[in-house]
């Protein structure tokens, strides 16, 4: 099992002291630390012109702790955001990547096209996670399908703010995500206070223990500076699972599930295209009044939009399969991170 902690602003964590951050991460037995490396189309976590994200990533790797870069995306410039992600992943040497998409993407009428542009232009081979809302059904406008088609893991934000039921919320989160994806789920829990609300220490423990009982691969928590400031550090530090050795060999066929998904989507596209043809044929022979005609036009529009969305996802899946087929496990002591994502 794995346990991670987000870092938002390095300068606010241990006063920006890289050595102290790494020492505390090691003492807490963190398997990984999620470092913000980009905010939209701009790089992030520079201090006085120094790339502290790279310094921290390098120092963590020396101690066997995996640095995972994350980016908050706005969708204003999806191509620019993807280019920044590519550059920052190369600059920092992070071993994985998380995409934090929230209300800006959810509320953008062109979000599917923008998400497609963004995902299609990510060109690094490191594993990718989608880190967004805990309940997909509450945010149906978020283009989950596009993001998830290019990811290897889901990191939902299970923040039980203004409530005291972390285990019930985690159950509901898993239930809703399982309706739209089979990807591994690594939930992020609350270790922060906001607007006068704080979780209890027991709730943080209950969240982690429940994740363990559900056989999830591990947990994350938000966020380092808040965790320390609100006296949750020891609680998070003491959360642990039995350590298991990672698999020695990477999966032989990492693309099998994606290939199956590709075929499934292809069948859906074909079925919808057939429906459009049937409706077109019916329109020729029907003596339509204006109401039926308008309904038929609306149905055409719905099906054509559905086919367009599915074709975009198909393209992402084909790109993902090509990347995975050419992927090699790096010859470093961090190859276990890749194996965790693809086991």
pLDDT by residue, tens only, the chain of 343 residues: 699 999 999 999 999 999 999 999 999 999 999 999 999 999 999 999 999 999 999 999 999 999 999 999 999 999 999 999 999 999 999 999 999 999 999 999 999 999 999 999 999 999 999 999 999 999 999 999 999 999 999 999 999 999 999 999 999 999 999 999 999 999 999 999 999 999 999 999 999 999 999 999 999 999 999 999 999 999 999 998 655 555 444 444 555 656 666 666 666 666 666 766 666 666 665 555 555 666 666 766 776 777 777 777 777 777 666 665 555 444 444 444 445 544 4
Given 237, 271, 301, the domain boundary residue is: 237
State residue 129's pLDDT score: 98
**Residue 98 lies inside a defined structural domain of this protein:** yes
Given 237, 271, 293, the domain boundary residue is: 237
State residue 271's pLDDT score: 67
Do 121 and 214 have their domain in common?
A: yes
Give the Cα separation of 210 and 153 in Å (integer). Answer: 19
Do 28 and 111 have their domain in common?
A: yes
Do 139 and 211 have their domain in common?
A: yes
State residue 92's pLDDT score: 98
Q: Domain containing 48 — which CATH number? A: 3.20.20.80
Residues 6+ apart with CB under 8 A from 302: none
State residue 21's pLDDT score: 98
State residue 325's pLDDT score: 58
Strands 188-190 and 32-39: unpaired
**Residue 337 lies inside a defined structural domain of this protein:** no
Do 148 and 7 have their domain in common?
A: yes
Which two tokens mark 53? 């994200």
Structural domain span for residue 283? 256-326
**Residue 203 lies inside a defined structural domain of this protein:** yes
Do 153 and 77 have their domain in common?
A: yes
Do 218 and 156 have their domain in common?
A: yes
**Residue 92 lies inside a defined structural domain of this protein:** yes
Do 231 and 262 have their domain in common?
A: no
> What is the crossing angle of helices 78-92 and 111-120, to 10°?
30
Residues 6+ apart with CB under 8 A from 215: none
**Residue 213 lies inside a defined structural domain of this protein:** yes
Do 99 and 134 have their domain in common?
A: yes
pTM, full prediction: 0.78
Other CB atoms closer than 10 Å to residue 249's CB: what's the count? 7
Q: How many domains, the chain? A: 2
State residue 313's pLDDT score: 72
State residue 308's pLDDT score: 72
State residue 258's pLDDT score: 61
**Residue 246 lies inside a defined structural domain of this protein:** no
Do 160 and 92 have their domain in common?
A: yes
Give the Cα separation of 298 and 294 in Å (integer). Answer: 6
**Residue 250 lies inside a defined structural domain of this protein:** no
State residue 94's pLDDT score: 98
State residue 338's pLDDT score: 42
**Residue 292 lies inside a defined structural domain of this protein:** yes
């Amino acid at each position: 099992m794995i346990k991670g902690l987000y870092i938002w602003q390095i300068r606010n964590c241990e006063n920006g002291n890289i050595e102290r951050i790494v020492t505390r991460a090691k003492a807490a037995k963190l398997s990984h630390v999620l470092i913000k490396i980009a905010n939209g189309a701009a790089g992030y976590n520079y201090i006085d012109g120094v790339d502290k994200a790279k310094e921290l990533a390098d120092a963590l790797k020396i101690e066997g702790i995996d640095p995972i870069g994350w980016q908050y995306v706005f969708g204003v410039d999806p191509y620019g955001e993807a280019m920044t992600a590519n550059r920052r992943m190369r600059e920092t040497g992070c071993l994985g990547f998380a995409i934090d998409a929230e209300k800006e993407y959810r509320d953008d009428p062109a979000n599917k096209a923008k998400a497609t542009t963004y995902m299609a232009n990510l060109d690094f081979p490191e594993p990718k996670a989608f880190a967004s809302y805990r309940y997909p059904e509450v945010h149906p406008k978020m283009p989950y399908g596009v993001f998830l088609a290019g990811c290897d893991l889901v990191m939902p934000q299970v923040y039980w703010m203004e409530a005291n039921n972390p285990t019930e919320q985690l159950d509901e989160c898993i239930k809703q995500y399982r309706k739209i994806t089979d990807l591994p789920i690594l939930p992020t829990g609350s270790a922060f206070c906001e607007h006068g609300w704080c979780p209890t220490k027991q709730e943080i423990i209950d969240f982690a223990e429940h994740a363990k009982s559900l056989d999830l691969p591990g947990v994350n928590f938000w966020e380092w500076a808040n965790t320390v400031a609100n006296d949750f550090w020891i609680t998070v530090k003491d959360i642990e699972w039995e350590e298991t050795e990672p698999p020695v060999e990477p999966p032989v066929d990492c693309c099998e599930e994606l290939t199956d998904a590709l075929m499934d989507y292809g069948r859906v596209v074909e079925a919808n295209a057939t429906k459009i043809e049937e409706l077109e044929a019916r329109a020729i022979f029907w003596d339509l009044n204006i109401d039926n005609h308008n309904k038929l036009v609306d149905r055409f529009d719905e099906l054509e939009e559905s086919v367009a969305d599915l074709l975009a996802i198909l393209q992402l899946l084909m790109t993902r399969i090509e990347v995975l087929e050419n992927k090699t496990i790096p010859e470093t002591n961090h190859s276990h991170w890749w194996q965790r994502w693809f086991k």
